[in-house]
Amino acid sequence: MFRKILATPLVALATCASAQEALPPAPATVVVAFDRDSIRPLIVEGEVDRETGRAVEANDPVRIASISKLIMALATLRLVDEGKVDLNADVSDYLGWHLRSPNFPDAKVTLAQLLSHRSGLRDNAGYVIPLGESLQAKLSDPKAWYADAPPGEAPFEYANLGSPVVATVLEAATGERFDHIMERTIFAPLEVEACLNWIGCSEEQIARAVVLYRDTGEVARDDAADLPPNCTIPVAEGVKCSLDNYVPGTNGSIFSPQGGVRIGMMDLAKIGQAFLPLNSEFLSESAQHEIAMHIVFNAPVRQEFFCEYGLAMHQIEVSDVECQDRLFSDGLARIGHAGEAYGLRSGLWYSRATNKGFAYFTTAVPPRQSAEDEGGFDPREIELMAKAQELIEAGR
């Protein structure tokens, strides 16, 4: 009898252990809160590498996807402050060749239009131009343009293709490679370690890379095969994977400016702090004015998700606008950008009313359910922000 009684909990324990073994590893997730003076991690959980079982740390570098566009916009504003570029100038003046929509040869294209997705560019012709191929040739393809209205009057259409154009314009205006521009104007001054497509990141930083997984458990990106010393940039067939002979101002697409920044959330929060209003130490009063004019006062888009957008910055939860952009539950409008790629969701959001914000990412998120489902935040993101706000309210 004693043996039978003892066997029951042993079987239960064995069954429980088997169930635990069957559970998939927790997705890597980090949420960081920041204000003008402080940065602190709120949620740090899950595994960054399921092969090794390595747990995520608060500042492990991760592909932040389209938040990269916002950082590029910040670099652009810094170059405006330096007098290197003008948001409203014809970008052809910098490129050295005539950039025009095929149907509207007299309409100029500007940095402000490109950053605000109002240039008429579309992703129908693709947006990745590998090393060894021509950005100029890509932009001569009529499929790359909205056909029925000129740049500046074309309707808002979120297009990744605009980012390689912006990066190439910044290179042409400065004579610097895009990754060097980002390091000089953003990363070094803010004392963050970040890079594009792993170019320029230290060996220690690369060793802490967050592997991106799909919800099925399949590796999506940034495992060992995607890291140096392997090639980390898009390269045309038969072309050597080397930037030694790259000429700045010819093809900024190789740095993936639309989504290729790798950075940890503690460091991303430092970039968030730089956007806070009246941060004159980093952004001039003129640059802050440009942000306010393009985002706060003059950015109506009225799409389901992108209701207020300008200069690669997205304003969400504006009280008088019906939009599928609800992420928080406090009713405050916030400015920032979302990221979505390879099973990852990420965000950098700050409130002008409170001078507080969040930087976050989470991995292994299920894909959208249909091709028509192009907007809105994933339920997991909404739950994360609710949990983060609860932790703050609890004094954590």
What pLDDT, on the 0 to 100 scale, is given for residue 366? 94
What pLDDT, on the 0 to 100 scale, is given for residue 298? 58
- Asked if 103 and 145 count as a contact pair (C-beta separation under 8 A), the reply is yes
19 occurs within a structural domain:
no
* Mean pLDDT along residues 96-104: 96
16 occurs within a structural domain:
no
pTM greater than 0.85 (yes/no): yes
Question: Which letter does DSSP use for residue 381 in this model?
Answer: H
| Unique residue bearing structure tokens 């950039």 | 99
5 occurs within a structural domain:
no
Contacts of 112 (CB under 8 A, 6+ apart): 87, 88, 118, 294, 311
365 occurs within a structural domain:
yes
Question: Which letter does DSSP use for residue 213 in this model?
Answer: E
What pLDDT, on the 0 to 100 scale, is given for residue 375? 67
13 occurs within a structural domain:
no
10 occurs within a structural domain:
no
Q: In the chain, pLDDT over 90 holds for what percent of residues? A: 78
* Mean pLDDT along residues 325-340: 93
What pLDDT, on the 0 to 100 scale, is given for residue 303? 76
323 occurs within a structural domain:
yes
| Structural domain boundaries, residue 223 | 25-393
Q: For residue 270, what is the enclosing H or E element?
A: helix 265-275
Amino acid at 335: I
DSSP letters, 220-242, are EE-SGGGSTTS--S-B-TT--S-
Taking only the tens place, the pLDDT of each residue in 237-251 is: 999 999 999 999 999
What pLDDT, on the 0 to 100 scale, is given for residue 125? 94
Closest CA to 115 of 171, 169, 156, 162: 162
241 occurs within a structural domain:
yes
Q: Is the peptide bond before 229 cis (omega within 30 degrees of 0)?
A: yes
CATH for 76 = 3.40.710.10
Taking only the tens place, the pLDDT of each residue in 320-329 is: 777 889 999 8
What pLDDT, on the 0 to 100 scale, is given for residue 322? 79
Residue 166 predicted with pLDDT over 50: yes
Taking only the tens place, the pLDDT of each residue in 183-240 is: 999 999 999 999 999 999 999 999 999 999 999 999 999 999 999 999 999 999 999 9
Task: Give me the number of domains the chain comprises.
Answer: 1
Handedness of CA 138, 140, 143, 145 (dihedral sign): positive
